[in-house]
């Protein structure tokens, strides 16, 4: 399964937990606790990514980045930010970068 499918599937599961809470589900718990709890978890996970990276521990980095991504998806669902919203924003930024590269080239193709 590719990243796009995994992230989209996870997003749908998170939406489902928001709309149909499941007893004992951590995701349902986060929605029940609300925005402050979700934001606190994002802060914690961000710090853990920094520490894992600083320790040069790739397996720990992968684990913590995955935790951070999950909590960001929970925040997105909570705030009604869609994956398509993010894709559109990233595409806009990419286009700006491409435009700068094209504009920065000399006529002979040398920067």
Q: Based on the fold, state whether residues 59 and 89 are members of the same structural domain.
A: no
Query: pLDDT digits over 59-78, tens only?
Result: 999 999 999 999 999 999 99
Q: Based on the fold, state whether residues 19 and 34 are members of the same structural domain.
A: yes
- Domain of 9, CATH number, reads 1.10.287.1080
Can you give the pTM of this predicted structure?
A: 0.84
**What is the longest distance spanned by two Cα atoms in the chain?**
65
Work out the average pLDDT over 49-63: 96
Domain count, the chain: 2
Q: Based on the fold, state whether residues 26 and 40 are members of the same structural domain.
A: yes
CA atoms within 13 A on the CB side of 72: 13
Residue 102 — very low, low, confident or very high, per pLDDT cuts 50/70/90? low
pLDDT score, position 104: 61
Checking if the pLDDT of 108 tops 50, the result is: no
Q: What is the chain's percent helix, strand, coil content, to nearest 5? A: 80, 0, 20
Distance, in Å, from the CA atom of 25 to the CA atom of 22, rounded to the nearest integer, reads 5
CB count in 10 Å sphere of residue 14: 21
Q: Based on the fold, state whether residues 97 and 68 are members of the same structural domain.
A: no
- Domain range for 105 is 82-111
Q: CA separation (Å) from 69 to 40, 97, 104? A: 14, 24, 34
pLDDT score, position 20: 96
What mean pLDDT value characterizes the chain?
90
Checking if the pLDDT of 39 tops 70, the result is: yes
Checking if the pLDDT of 101 tops 70, the result is: no
Q: Based on the fold, state whether residues 86 and 70 are members of the same structural domain.
A: no
């Amino acid at each position: 399964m590719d990243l796009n499918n995994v992230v989209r599937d996870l997003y749908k599961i998170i939406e489902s937990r928001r709309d149909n809470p499941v007893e004992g589900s951590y995701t349902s718990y986060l929605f029940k606790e609300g925005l402050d709890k979700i934001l606190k978890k994002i802060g914690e996970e961000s710090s853990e990514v920094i520490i894992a990276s600083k320790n040069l521990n790739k397996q720990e980095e992968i684990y913590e980045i995955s935790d951070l991504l999950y909590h960001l998806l929970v925040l997105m669902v909570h705030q009604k930010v869609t994956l398509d919203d993010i894709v559109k924003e990233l595409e806009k930024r990419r286009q700006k970068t491409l435009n700068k590269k094209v504009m920065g080239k000399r006529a002979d193709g040398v920067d």
